[in-house]
A and B are shown apart, each in its own frame.
Chain A
Amino acid sequence: MHRHQRNWLLEDETQLHDFLNSLRDQYDLSESGQSAQRISYLDTFDWRIWRKGDVLEYHEFNRQKKLVWRSIDHEKIYMEIPVDECPEFINDIPDWLMPDVLYEATRPRAVVEQVLSRSQSQVYGLRDTKGKMIGRIMIVHENQRHNNNRLGSALPMRLYAEPMRGYEKAFEKVKQVIDQSGLKAYGKDPLVQLLRLDDRSPCDYSTRLRLKLNPEQRADEASRQIMLQLIQMMQLNEYGIRDDIDTEFLRDYRSALHRVHSLLGQLKHVIPEDTRQRFEDDLVWLDAETSRLFELNNWLLDFEQYRGLIADDEQLYLDELHGWLRTQRHAALMSVVRLFASDKYQKFMKRWRVFLECEIPEHSVLRWAEQPVHKVTGRRIWKTYQALLDYKGKDLPRLLQIDLARMDQLTATLSDLLTLFSMLYPHGKAIDMIRELRIFSDALGTCVASQRQIQLLRSLIREMKEGGITQKKTEAAMDELLNCMLDHQSDRLRNMKTLFLDITGDDMHKRFKKMYGKS
């Protein structure tokens, strides 16, 4: 059973005063504490807690520190958890205090401070005629607080009312008094209001692009708009990678990077070739520089799952591999941190932004630059889909063994193009195709990731053996793990055939042709 609270808006001190007097007429109202709290509103960088319908607050007052886990708009307080310090991850909270649901919602993501406030509250106890406390009301003044500790704008004053457990019925009358006083419901959650003061809103981080493209817009203009947003997305994720907040930052960074790359590959005769080629080279360089950290992150995230593949009595011997992976990951992270600080990287970002932000020439000599964007993209999508169709009727599992990367690149390009330009086509139609393509693309992505992890494991085994830092039993466990992973990979590749037929079947072919084949 959760605690239920309701909250109302108090317009000014006069209204508060009148309201307290009306309560005093019927109840024994006693002041039972005042507190000034510093509140950090926490969520994962991609707002997983908010998306679940909840809010997580970290309160500090006097020497007490606690987490308050509640529903949006304060309807329910699920739990208040005393903590020693603000947790970085939910599983930093001791097991016996940690709510599993919250852990499931956030793991393995860190919780970061989204917004900061300072609140002052006055609590009153309400006693009935027999002297029994039946509930509490709380008057809260909350201010935005800046990082330099300065207080910012104030939120409207609010009133919380909460019955004591077991006295809900008696408390209904208090609610009636509140309603009769003409108090209005509080409205938006304080978190929303605090973010709004900074021109932000919950879930303001999203990997989804916020673009409004016009089908008749020039191709060079539209492509620059998209690439600019993708570059901004990469920059937005840099701090999370640098501070090692969460592995998702690098995932999103690389996802944006790959999307720019996919798009660039399709922009021949849309942007100047020498510029396009230079950026493409830079992106290949960036991909290579960040891939080791990415692969090691994935390895560590999946480590326990992989460990489970081998016999129970051998699992223990993989601890050495785990330690090695962690060391290697730290080195890879430092290398990426150095990369971000390097002149080469800074120049690359600057050059990109200058190019993408500058005004496009009124007329271009490039063949496709001035063409409507829907025509250019439709043509590219159709060509890419046809390239995928070349695999039809062939021995797919065998082909994939040989050229998994090419198939992955084609599918990713097609998926990226469909996604980036979906708003140019009739609503819903592209979405269905993207969904179906994504099932194949995700399965293929798993195969590629697994293949990379196999390759990485091979090289790690070699490095560890050459370094003479493995024991015989560890070597045997790693070899067994490698064999298990290879078996699983073969199974995965066999299953790809059915999924491939789904996206290259007659029905899908017709849909692609109808939408993009006429461009």
Chain B
Amino acid sequence: MKIIGTYNIKGGVGKTATAVNLACLAAMEGYKTLIWDLDPQGAASFYYRIKPKIKGGSDKLLAERNLDNVIKGTDIPNLDLIPADFSYRNMDVQFSEYKKPAKQLMKLLRPLSEEYHLLFIDCPPNITLVSENVFYAADVLMVPIIPTPLSIRTHQQLLRHLKHKPMLKLNMMPFFSMVDRRKKLHRQIVAELPKRYPDISPHMIPYASQVELMGVRRAPLFTYAATTPAAKAYIGLWQAVKQSIK
């Protein structure tokens, strides 16, 4: 099983939309896919019409170490979801009570590897022990960046943080998200930033109202706007992710 995390310290950058749409694409290609909505806000669960609640909360989940009972099927064939729960907000405290606290998520996910080909983790926007766990577990960490100074600043913060964690062999894939080419600032940053950070993927997701409509439709983009430029951009991004995990 390959694990793909969508992460950024900053909120509202398109992490959930990326996880939801890429997971949908993977499932449509026949990969048995699971998405874990680790963000207590529960947006990914909402998009997939699943109640953001798990019985017993994260306490029970970590104590029993059995994810089988909390997995729910979605309307998309081959795609299941572990719903969010408000108790996830305390997960970092719970992780810290174990030995090797940064590797607890990895341990928890191990039994799923026989059943799923791909796991997408939609991370909450912060930098805590939970994110540290995702860094250890993920084969690819996708980092959406809005081409704005604030977003770039948080990306730099992340890079500085990871510099102090040389044991992490993290395959990071930053990419531009919500790019609005009408804005001069966006155009400038998209042109200049990759020169400083060549790791930034050439695949960028445009700002599009169809993506925002996901919240209204409560479904991934490909179920209602599969041929739009935004959908095509996600397809390009998914191809790049697939290349990097193969």
Provide the bound-state CA to CA distance between A66 and B77, in Å. Answer: 14
Could you say which residues of chain B place their CB within 8 Å of the CB of A163? 73
Q: CA separation between A2 and B71, bound complex, in Å?
A: 13
Q: Is A94 an interface residue (CB 8 A)?
A: yes
B2 touches A96 (CB 8 A): yes
Stretch at the interface among A15-23, A79-87, A294-302, A385-393: A79-87
Q: Does A97 contact B (CB under 8 A)?
A: yes
A121 to chain B, nearest CB (A): 12
- CB–CB B30/A164 < 8 A: no
Asked if A79 contacts B71 (CB within 8 A), the reply is no
A165 touches B29 (CB 8 A): no
Q: Tell me if A133 counts as interface (CB < 8 A to partner B).
A: yes
B74 contacts across to A, CB distance below 8 A: 164
Q: Are A82 and B246 in contact (CB under 8 A)?
A: no
Residues in chain B near residue A94, CB distance under 8 A: 246
Of A81, A125, A131, A167, the residue contacting B117 (CB under 8 A) is: A81
Kindly list chain B residues whose C-beta atoms are within 8 Å of the C-beta of A136.
Answer: 77
- The verdict on A146 contacting chain B, using a C-beta distance below 8 Å, is no
Please judge, given known A-B contacts A132-B49, A136-B77, whether A165 and B71 are in contact too, CB under 8 Å: yes
Interface flags, A96-135, vs B, CB<8A=1, else 0: 1101000000000000000000000000010000011100
Set of chain A residues within 8 Å of B73, measured between Cβ atoms:
133, 163-167
Chain A CB within 8 A of B78 CB: yes
CA distance A82 to B32 in the complex (A): 9
Query: Is B72 touching A64 in the complex (CB atoms < 8 A)?
Result: no
Q: Does A402 contact B (CB under 8 A)?
A: no
State how many residues of chain A have any CB contact under 8 Å with chain B. Answer: 22
Chain B 53-112 residues near chain A, CB threshold 8 A: 68, 70-75, 77-78, 80
A66 vs B32: C-alpha distance in the bound complex, in angstroms? Answer: 11
Closest beta carbon of chain B to A361's beta carbon, Å: 64
- When chains A and B are docked, how far (Å) is the Cα of A125 from the Cα of B223? 15
- Given the complex, which residues of A lie within 8 Å of B207, measured CB to CB? none
CB distance from B228 to the nearest CB of A (A): 21
Whether A96 and B72, one on each chain, are in contact in the complex, defined by CB atoms closer than 8 angstroms, is no
Most chain A beta-carbon neighbours within 10 Å: one of B2, B80, B114, B245: B114
Q: Give Cα distance in the complex from A493 to B117, angstroms.
A: 48
Are A133 and B75 neighbours in the complex by a CB distance under 8 Å? yes
Q: Which residues of B contact A80 (CB under 8 A)?
A: 30, 32, 78
Binding site for A on B (CB under 8 A): 1-2, 29-32, 49, 68, 70-75, 77-78, 80, 114-115, 117, 245-246
Sort A-B residue pairs by CB-CB distance and give the 8 closest, nearest first: A164-B73, A82-B30, A166-B72, A165-B73, A66-B30, A165-B80, A133-B75, A1-B68
* 20 A-B contact pairs sorted by A residue (CB < 8 Å): A1-B68, A64-B29, A79-B32, A80-B30, A81-B117, A82-B29, A82-B30, A82-B31, A96-B2, A96-B117, A96-B245, A136-B77, A165-B71, A165-B72, A165-B80, A166-B70, A166-B71, A166-B72, A166-B73, A167-B73
- A residues in contact (CB < 8 Å) with B: 1-2, 64, 66, 79-82, 94, 96-97, 99, 125, 131-133, 136, 163-167
